[in-house]
Homo-oligomer: A and B are copies of this chain.
Amino acid sequence: MNEAPSFSPVCPTPDKPGETVELGHGSGGRLTHDLIESVFRPAFAHCETDLTHDGAELEIGGARLAFTTDSYVVQPLFFPGGDIGTLAVNGTVNDLAMCGARPLALSCGFVIEEGYPLAELRRVAHSMQAAASATGVRLVAGDTKVVERGKGDGLYINTSGVGEIVAPLPVAPGRVRPGDAILLSGDIGRHGMAVMSAREDLGFDPPILSDCAALHSPVLRLIEEGIDIHCLRDCTRGGLATALIEIARSAGLAMKIEQNAVPVSEPVRGACEILGLDPLYVANEGRFVAILPGEQAEAALSVLRDFEQNAALIGMVEAGPEAVSLRTIGGSYALDFLSCEQLPRIC
């Protein structure tokens, strides 16, 4: 589990003289952070953008709003358990939920490649409508652009979202404290493995289904139950490990994670072993980490288990230098960002 992934990683060529964008810049890992720091932060420095987070908090006319954006370039467009449409709705609903917000409205921007079958576009539109209805969120604004053959890959979708923040106190890494409990909302690695199985025609039996789902209901229940959520993060690109590392760095604190406590289903574990992947770094689309006061861990876990039976307390926050360490049977290992792209275009 602590081995470097060996399945066709797409690494940047380190000695390349010309600076260009590489696939790894879209990984959500180290190169994405490099891109943000070297390109976007200098340009957007005066705009107060929190560039490491998809979501922003706005106060408009007395209302506390969350505003988020995400572009979806998953390949293939249809995979076991979902498609780019379900992903585009649920993913942005989840970005809003991770701000402690009730999702209200989404916009949809389509970039379609010339020649894309209208029948597939209809399927995707219906998936979006079904996901929106299930979530109670409205699709309120749209835009369609078409690009020439060979200038796209079927379909890219951007969804941006607006929600009303209902958490009474800020939900942000800055509120994480030593002694906080780290809860995980369910088993990990299913989305990444489902997409890989479809992309590489791996034909797992039984098939591994994506965990793609909206996460606002458990978050809103935690808030209703009076849990003082300090921080939330969905475990998408880069998986659980990347989410934890980002929070630890932003909070300037240490996290101790128990490997045995992290739920991984047998099919996912087996598939990861075959492919040489570490489930900790595999993308999820329906799992999140909640960090909250240790004394509320039990009550919070009971809420999360109403939604996913294998939600778990996976570790604790401690004082000390920012770091995430994983305790295994064989010892403790520091988790770090992957330096290259393990599974490109997973979302």
CA distance A26 to B113 in the complex (A): 10
- In the bound complex, residues from chain B placing their C-beta under 8 Å from that of A26 are 112, 144-147
Contact B118 A20 (CB under 8 A): yes
- In the bound complex, residues from chain B placing their C-beta under 8 Å from that of A333 are none
Q: List 20 A-B contacts (CB under 8 A).
A: A23-B146, A35-B144, A36-B144, A40-B142, A43-B128, A48-B138, A49-B141, A54-B141, A61-B61, A63-B63, A65-B65, A67-B162, A69-B158, A69-B160, A71-B110, A73-B147, A145-B156, A146-B344, A148-B345, A162-B162
CA distance A18 to B55 in the complex (A): 40
The count of identical subunits is: 2
Give the segment of A100-108, A168-176, A199-207, A224-232 that binds chain B: A100-108
Task: From known contacts A49-B141, A142-B40, A147-B153, infer whether A71 and B109 are also in contact, taking CB-CB under 8 Å.
Answer: yes
Q: Is A38 located at the chain interface by the 8 A CB criterion? A: yes
Measured CB to CB, the closest approach of chain B to A165, in angstroms, equals 9
Q: Is A64 located at the chain interface by the 8 A CB criterion? A: yes
Number of interface residues of A (CB under 8 A): 88
Contact surface of A with B, Cβ cutoff 8 Å: 18-26, 32, 35-36, 38-40, 42-51, 53-56, 58, 60-65, 67-73, 104-105, 107-119, 121-122, 125-126, 128-129, 132-133, 138-148, 150-153, 156, 158, 160, 162, 164, 344-345
